[in-house]
Amino acid sequence: YKMAKAEYNYTVDSARASLVRQEDTIIFGLIERARFPLNSPTYNQSYTSIPQFRGTLLDFLVRHTEAIQAKAGRYINPEENPFFPENLPPSVVPRYPFSQFLHPAAAMININNAIWKLYFDELLPMFVASGDDGNYAQTAATDLSLLQAISRRIHYGKFVGEAKFRESPQGYEPLIRAKIHPNFLYSRKLCTNVAHATVIEDKGALMKLLTYESVEEMVVKRVKKKAMVFGQEVSLDRDVKGITYKVDPSVVSLLYQKWLIPLTKNVEVEYLLNRLD
């Protein structure tokens, strides 16, 4: 059967609305992972001795899950980026014609290696308790869905970058051109004058142009509030003694401020630098 061509186009507003909705997924993902303690055997290769597999239990679960999800068509959607793109099987389902909103160079941008490392080195220790309760498979499953939610959010920077470019090409084009053409950069580098300084500043200028500090402040405040609302104990009793949250709301805002927002912006810059190729 024939599928209609998807005409959906993103705007800065619609992209922002999606990021707001994705906050819910990320915060519930944090709450779900925080149900379990660290459960370090999940990440320790010497714990598993799976026949014909080298790696941790988490690696095992992620590689096999991504393979089955790839077959089911998950990565046809340009909003999705696999953690292990090498050797993924092709989709076996009809190809939905997602709108070709992004520049083709977008497909080359996948920073999941960095996100993976960040998750284990920085993020997990911020919001899980130490300890071991044996639920390694469940732990790995919650890690994967949280990692996917975080990855989708950060790579959404491609859509935000494209929407911003389309709303103001005359603002972005000169900054992109200044940076991406090595010859141009090289010839400017030979001059020790103000023009040189301008070129060096161009990645910064691009970053500046796409940054909206007031929006970032709202994001950071809102995720803290959502963590309070989503993570509170709901009781039918009148007086609940002492409010405890399932995941620390200030950790959620810190996580956004320190990692998710900066990485989203890096993806925006990276995408825009390739936008005119």
Ligand X SMILES: C=C(O[C@@H]1C=C(C(=O)O)C=C[C@H]1O)C(=O)O
Closest separation between CB of residue 262 and ligand X, Å? Answer: 8
Q: Tell me the window of 26-34, 59-67, 234-242, 257-265 that interacts with ligand X (CB under 6 A).
A: 257-265
Closest separation between CB of residue 149 and ligand X, Å? Answer: 14
Q: Tell me the window of 86-94, 136-144, 237-245, 259-267 that interacts with ligand X (CB under 6 A).
A: 259-267
Give the closest residue to 10 by CA, choosing from 119, 124, 162. Answer: 162
Number of amino acids touching ligand X (CB under 6 A): 12
Token pair 């925006």 in the structure block, residue: 268
Residue 261 contacts ligand X per CB under 6 A: yes
Residue 219 backbone zone (phi > 0: left; psi -120 to 50: alpha; other: beta): alpha
Contact map string, positions 134 to 173, toward ligand X, x by CB under 6 A: --------------------------x-------------
Residue 265 contacts ligand X per CB under 6 A: yes
Among 34, 264, 269, 270, binds ligand X (CB under 6 A): 264
Residue with Cβ nearer ligand X (123 or 199):
123
Give the closest residue to 119 by CA, choosing from 134, 135, 140, 133. Answer: 140
Q: Tell me the window of 48-56, 126-134, 236-244, 260-268 that interacts with ligand X (CB under 6 A).
A: 260-268
- In this structure, the chain runs to a length of 277
Q: Hey, which residues between 191 and 250 contact ligand X (CB under 6 A)? A: 210-212, 215-216, 219
Closest separation between CB of residue 2 and ligand X, Å? Answer: 35
Residues that bind ligand X (CB under 6 A): 16, 19, 160, 210-212, 215-216, 219, 261, 264-265
